[in-house]
Structure 1
Amino acid sequence: MNSFRRIVLYSKPYWKRMAIAAIVSTGVGAMDGAFAWLVEPLLKKIFAEKDLLVFTLLPFGIIILFVIRGICRFTNDYLMRTAGQMAVQGVRNEIYQRNMRLSLGFFQRQTTGGLMSRVLNDVNMMQEGVGTIITGLFRDGLSAVSLLGVIFYRNWQLALICFIVLPVTVYPAQKIGKRIKQIAKGGQETMGNIAGILQETFSGIKVIKAFGLEEREIAKFRDRNHEFYYFQRKSIKYEALSTPVTEFITSFGVAAVIWVGGANVMSGRMSAAEFFSFITAMVMMYSPVKKLTNAYNVMQRSIGASERVFEIIDAEPEIVDAPDARPVSRVQGEVEFRDVSFSYQDEEVLKKVSLSAKKGEVVALVGPSGGGKTTLVSLIPRFYDVKSGAILIDGQDIRGVVLADLLKQIALVDQETILFNDTIANNIRYGRTDAADAEVEAAAKAAFAHDFIMEMPEGYLTNIGDRGVRLSGGQRQRLCIARAILKDAPILILDEATSALDTESEQMVQSALENLMANRTTFVIAHRLSTIFRADKIVAIENGEIKESGSHAELLAKDGLYKRLYDMQFQG
């Protein structure tokens, strides 16, 4: 119920809309009660007193009654459901907002498809639940109460017989609802797996086709889809079981009422008109009760989905500002790693690393794959926090600096060229969102991207598609470099920044990077050693430890790890 209360709280800003709907819903409930109430006097007037006026006006009265009831029902449904939609819209905004503010480690523990499923499918299920629950509670609840009032007024003894079976329906409804909730959670998790397969296959379709593995991926999708059907089938089974169980239990009440009431009519203790009015109210009352039972099942399914949504909303970022974090403006760019150790859960990646870089120095990190180079530079912008030791910029521990200010000091060009389904100009402008068009163009020229941009159909306004699919690898990398140039940060991280470039492009970009790196502290990760011969300091890392450091000539003379890597690349 805690999850349900939280869902309802999201509707609080729309209480005026819901209040109007609640008032109107009383009209629906009142009309149901009025219809059942009028059966007895109308039957007396028409059949006992032979009142032709009442008989003549009755059809018009019924039509007017149903017109008013229809207007009230429409208004109630529209206002309640739109309030529910707006409430869940707030949930979707919040879960996306929370996702964006969680630390990088969180995303490495989750699947992209699973997160997408929570934002889309789980929230949609909440959306369905909020509308159904709120509408059911107000409209069907009030109808049931008004009709219950009529049957108690007509004959309280028969009403007790009728009412006594209703609490009996609560237990099976509760058990069925609980099962539906469990099944819903399992089904939503499976839908997350399906979304993950879709995300992987569509983004990796080139590799799938290159290796001819379409059938394997189809089989994998078919298996997950069948698993989802399994959960859906069980959910359908329990939901379909709910109504027959409720009807079976209430049938005992109906049978008892007919038997006792019929005996009262035959003995003269109750008129036929009163009994018919009572039966009408009773039959009409069971309809909203059944709807409330169905709404309860929908609520359980919605709660199952909401628990998965609230897991994300309640997740706390691992990397946050310290209570006494200090703001910083532009730093000089001196960076020091002081006895830094780091682990991914139980896997130790860095061990007591000490390293310093002066303002404007170029520090190259080399070593075998998996040695900890990328992890080392990822600690500078606090994508992760060190487990022990400290990282200092201009003598300040970065954990004591406002995170947003820290990120302004660092530009990153990653080995994975991440571009967005937007224009070329806006992708470059990611480096500084308020940059003018002239500044964007200047950054592109510095990255030797301007010429190929101008050959595009709409120049800088050309949309490059999902992840820049319409560009070559070299073009994508040059846009990423232009983005970093535009940011103009004092600290630069280049993680295999030229890995996707052909020889001609690499020469152009190396020239651009040399201009960019001037008077900036730069950390370069490179497997291609020819790109870092002129670095001020080359650091060889293996198994999370610094094995040696120095200039290119010094490390060749040491005949250690760097010399071994050099010989492997340049032998012969």
Structure 2
Amino acid sequence: MAKQSVQVYRRLLVYSKPYARRIVFAMLASLGVAGTDVAVAKLVQPLVDYVLAAEDMVLVNLVPLVVVGLALLKGISRYVQEYFIKTAGQLVVQDLRNDLYSHSVELSMGYFSRTPSGTLVSRIINDVGMLQKSAVDEIVVVVRETLTLVGLVGLLFYNDWRLAVLAFTVLPLAIFPASHIGRQIKKYVRKSLANIGVLTSILHESFSGIKVVKAFGAEEAEKKKFFDENKTYYRRIKKIIKYDVATAPIMEVLASFGAAGVLWYGIQRVMSGAITQGELLSFIAAMGMMYGPVKRLVKTNNVIQKAIGAAERVFDLLDLQADIVDAVDAEKLPLSKGYVQFDRVDFGYDDELVLKNFSVSVEPGQVVALVGPSGAGKSTLIGLLARFYEPTRGKIQIDGQDICAVTQNSLKEQLALVDQETFLFHDSLLNNIRYGRPGASEEEVYEAARMAYADEFIQEMPEGYETVIGDRGVRLSGGQRQRICIARAILRDAPILLLDEATSALDTESEAVVQRALSNLMRNRTTFIIAHRLSTVMNADRILVLEAGQLKEQGTHQQLLAHNGLYKRLYNMQFQEQN
């Protein structure tokens, strides 16, 4: 293996350390497996020379006992070895998956905006799955086959060193094809796992958006996309199969040269009386058994190369640093009063600024609406306040403290988000509401649901609060999903509230109920509201009008209408559309 591959494999083996005892038991058991193989080869000679030739009935009667005894010893040894090594391998994979998932969810929002979720799922499931047989299992395979090989090689040289030298002339020739095959397998494993990531993303998108796919009759287009990627995956897997299955034939052809030479020279030595027939047969048996471990060791190299190809992708993700981390001296933000200040804030995705020199101060308990054309930077502001992203320039303060100087967990405790995407989990209604505060009592959950006007329809569900609502809350209407999200935010009881298009997808009747729920939620909280429908923000304490990332106007609804600027134009456009 190349130096980089060795380093990757060593890093992978670090995960095996907690389970060293299991691995040691497996290795000790492999001594029994290797020992029985060597014993079988050695016993061929006395079987021929002393049992068959001498016709000793006492020894003949011992033959079944020896055969059964060796089989029993080998069977027990193999069982112990396989059990301990496979459970150790499962535990290693479990730890690696846990670390990979834990690290992934800690990455910043910027990473998730750049990376399809299907690709991440594939890394955690498929890439780690590729390591399952390789992380620990192959260590014991290497030890077992090496011990068997050493024992058989010793027996060969003990029986006849001349024949042994002849048998070993072909082994160095096997190194070159084995090394080339291993490198090719590793290369195509990485490529095939990348294909699996794309396939997983296609599946995730098409099934999550199945309503859109059906509505636009795009089934054939989605199928073609999947079939094309699946075909590319097959082509790369075919390469892996081609190199993998070539290993055994190459080894057998090379071994045949050594076997031919040994038979030719060995028969001559028997005819000359230098060795007995039993010694030659014992040598041939040991030589035949020796090539088995050699082939398995080469095959093991292929498996290890697959593991390294997958491990490189896994460690690439584990080594990825979060864009946003707590400062070394970060302090915990105490319970906020809700005073928020943006001070000359700039922010851009890559090199394009989407927010420019933005400054505003919001008093505790104030309701501030953010309006403006699409792409004006409204959602970016909320993302910056929640510290999903870091400002390119300037700072954001809560109660006078820079949010970049406090811990992220203490900042999140000050915020509650109700998003336009009403995401609910495949869980009970009770647990979906309690997600806002996991330690809340059932009575607190019920009270939050009542304030969100959700209690009435929950009581009508088959199992009430224990009703499981399906993937993304598919069993609920849009208005019901939104009210569950509001109940979750009410239970959170945070001093700062972020509402991002919370009623944009609702009909008029549902919106009226949700608006009443939102009124309960906003009470005594500093609230930032993003809304395209200006009718929903007319009563805000202050309206901030953004365009192209800049604050163009601010004031109350009446003040902005009197100003006759951008807000007035947006209002007139919506009024005309409604008419």
Q: TM-score range by the shorter chain?
A: over 0.9
Q: TM-score, normalised by structure 2?
A: 0.97
Residue number in structure 1 paired with 2:527: 522
Residue number in structure 2 paired with 1:194: 199
Aligned residue pair count: 572
Q: 2:245 aligns with which of 235, 240, 244?
A: 240
1:151 aligns with 2:180: no
- Matched AA of 1:44: D
- 3-state SS of paired residue (2:373): coil
Residue number in structure 2 paired with 1:119: 124
- 3-state SS of paired residue (1:379): helix
Residue number in structure 2 paired with 1:290: 295
Residue number in structure 1 paired with 2:178: 173
Q: 2:566 aligns with which of 552, 561, 565?
A: 561
Q: Larger deviation: 529-538 or 54-63?
A: 54-63
- Matched AA of 1:489: A
Give me the whole-angstrom Cα distance separating, in 2, the residues matched to 1:29 and 1:515: 74
- Matched AA of 2:251: T
Q: Deviations over 1:411-468 (max 9, x none)?
A: 0001111100000010011110011111111111111111111111011110000000
Q: Give runs of aligned pairs for residues 455-534 of structure 1, distance below 5 A.
A: 455-534=460-539
**CA apart distance, 1:132:** 4.3
- Matched AA of 2:277: A
Residue number in structure 2 paired with 1:10: 15
- Matched AA of 1:301: K
- 3-state SS of paired residue (1:523): strand
Give me the whole-angstrom Cα distance separating, in 2, the residues matched to 1:359 and 1:193: 47
Give me the whole-angstrom Cα distance separating, in 1, the residues matched to 2:497 and 2:107: 24
Give me the whole-angstrom Cα distance separating, in 1, the residues matched to 2:369 and 2:53: 104
- 3-state SS of paired residue (1:130): coil
Q: Give runs of aligned pairs for residues 316-327 of structure 1, distance below 5 A.
A: 316-327=321-332
Give me the whole-angstrom Cα distance separating, in 2, the residues matched to 1:148 and 1:111: 53
1:443 aligns with 2:443: no
Q: Give runs of aligned pairs for residues 335-354 of structure 1, distance below 5 A.
A: 335-354=340-359
**CA apart distance, 1:554:** 1.2
Give me the whole-angstrom Cα distance separating, in 2, the residues matched to 1:26 and 1:246: 25
Q: 1:160 aligns with which of 148, 165, 168?
A: 165
Residue number in structure 2 paired with 1:210: 215
Residue number in structure 1 paired with 2:395: 390
- 3-state SS of paired residue (1:507): helix
**CA apart distance, 1:145:** 1.6
1:368 aligns with 2:373: yes
- Matched AA of 2:273: G
1:415 aligns with 2:420: yes
Residue number in structure 2 paired with 1:140: 145
- Matched AA of 1:253: G
Give me the whole-angstrom Cα distance separating, in 2, the residues matched to 1:70 and 1:423: 49
**CA apart distance, 1:37:** 1.4
Residue number in structure 1 paired with 2:46: 41
Q: Larger deviation: 495-504 or 378-387?
A: 495-504
* Contact 1:103–1:318 (CA under 8 A) maintained in structure 2: yes
Residue number in structure 1 paired with 2:112: 107
* Contact 1:181–1:303 (CA under 8 A) maintained in structure 2: yes
- 3-state SS of paired residue (1:32): helix
**CA apart distance, 1:492:** 0.4
Give me the whole-angstrom Cα distance separating, in 2, the residues matched to 1:306 and 1:361: 51
* Contact 1:132–1:298 (CA under 8 A) maintained in structure 2: no
Q: TM-score, normalised by structure 1?
A: 0.98
**CA apart distance, 1:35:** 1.1
Give me the whole-angstrom Cα distance separating, in 2, the residues matched to 1:356 and 1:159: 87
Give me the whole-angstrom Cα distance separating, in 1, the residues matched to 2:563 and 2:280: 106
Q: 1:263 aligns with which of 264, 268, 275?
A: 268
* Contact 1:473–1:500 (CA under 8 A) maintained in structure 2: yes
- Matched AA of 2:425: F
Q: Deviations over 1:252-298 (max 9, x none)?
A: 22222222222222222222211111111010011111111111111
Q: Larger deviation: 323-332 or 157-166?
A: 157-166
* Contact 1:477–1:500 (CA under 8 A) maintained in structure 2: no
- 3-state SS of paired residue (2:295): helix
1:19 aligns with 2:24: yes
Q: Which runs of 5+ in 1 are unaligned?
A: none
**CA apart distance, 1:504:** 2.4
Residue number in structure 2 paired with 1:358: 363
Give me the whole-angstrom Cα distance separating, in 1, the residues matched to 2:90 and 2:176: 31
Residue number in structure 1 paired with 2:552: 547
* Contact 2:479–2:514 (CA under 8 A) maintained in structure 1: no
Q: Larger deviation: 210-219 or 459-468?
A: 210-219
- Matched AA of 1:138: V
Give me the whole-angstrom Cα distance separating, in 1, the residues matched to 2:323 and 2:378: 22
* Contact 1:132–1:295 (CA under 8 A) maintained in structure 2: no
* Contact 2:367–2:542 (CA under 8 A) maintained in structure 1: yes
Q: Deviations over 1:335-360 (max 9, x none)?
A: 11111111111221111111111111
Q: Larger deviation: 404-413 or 260-269?
A: 260-269
* Contact 2:483–2:517 (CA under 8 A) maintained in structure 1: no
- Matched AA of 2:300: A
* Contact 1:362–1:536 (CA under 8 A) maintained in structure 2: yes
Q: Deviations over 1:230-251 (max 9, x none)?
A: 1111111111111111222222
**CA apart distance, 1:46:** 1.5
Q: Deviations over 1:187-245 (max 9, x none)?
A: 11111111111111111111111111111111211111111111111111111111111
How big is the alpha-carbon RMSD for the aligned residues of Structure 1 and Structure 2?
A: 1.2
Give me the whole-angstrom Cα distance separating, in 1, the residues matched to 2:200 and 2:410: 36
**CA apart distance, 1:81:** 1.4
* Contact 1:101–1:317 (CA under 8 A) maintained in structure 2: yes
**CA apart distance, 1:131:** 5.1
**CA apart distance, 1:518:** 2.3
Q: Which runs of 5+ in 2 are unaligned?
A: 1-5
